Amino acid sequence: MYLIADKLTVTGAKLGGLKNAYAADESNIERILDNIQKSARIIVITQSLAKYVKKEIEKLRRMGKIVVTIPDKSGSGEDIVSKMIRDVVGFELKK
């Protein structure tokens, strides 16, 4: 599994034992994807970076790669997390 994320997320992943973690930004994300696409089977990328490489992600998926987008420090993941919980539990919990 490969992770492409901001520096903070990559640091946390590496501290947790993930070896294939790459810090990226909008200027180098395409190059990093190009470099890992042959050896990567599963690619996890943060939402804020995925928006810069939508076409490349679709191409990788057509090639049979598993590309998963995850929330990051920008806070855009609350709706996704709520949806995942709702899908698993079968209903939504409200305050």
Q: Tell whether 20 is covered by a domain.
A: yes
Total count of domains within the chain: 1
Indicate the burial class of 49 (C-beta count within 10 angstroms; 0-12, 13-18, 19 or more).
buried
Residue 82 inside a domain? The answer is yes
Angle formed by the axes of helices 29-36 and 54-62, to 10°?
10
Q: What is the pTM of this model?
A: 0.76
Distance CA 54, CA 19 (A): 25
Contact 40, 2 (CB under 8 A): yes
Q: Is residue 29 part of a domain?
A: yes
Q: Is the pLDDT of residue 83 over 80?
A: no
Is residue 33 a part of any domain in this protein? yes
3 forms beta bridges with 21, 44
pLDDT of residue 73: 73
Residue 95 within any structural domain of the chain: no
Residue 55: the pLDDT is: 95
Domain encompassing residue 77? 2-89
CATH code at 59? 3.40.50.10580
Is 94 a member of any domain? no
Dump pLDDT digits (tens) for 16-74: 899 999 999 999 999 999 999 999 999 999 999 999 999 999 999 999 999 999 887 77
Q: Sheet containing 21-23: give its strands across.
A: 21-23, 2-5, 42-46, 66-70
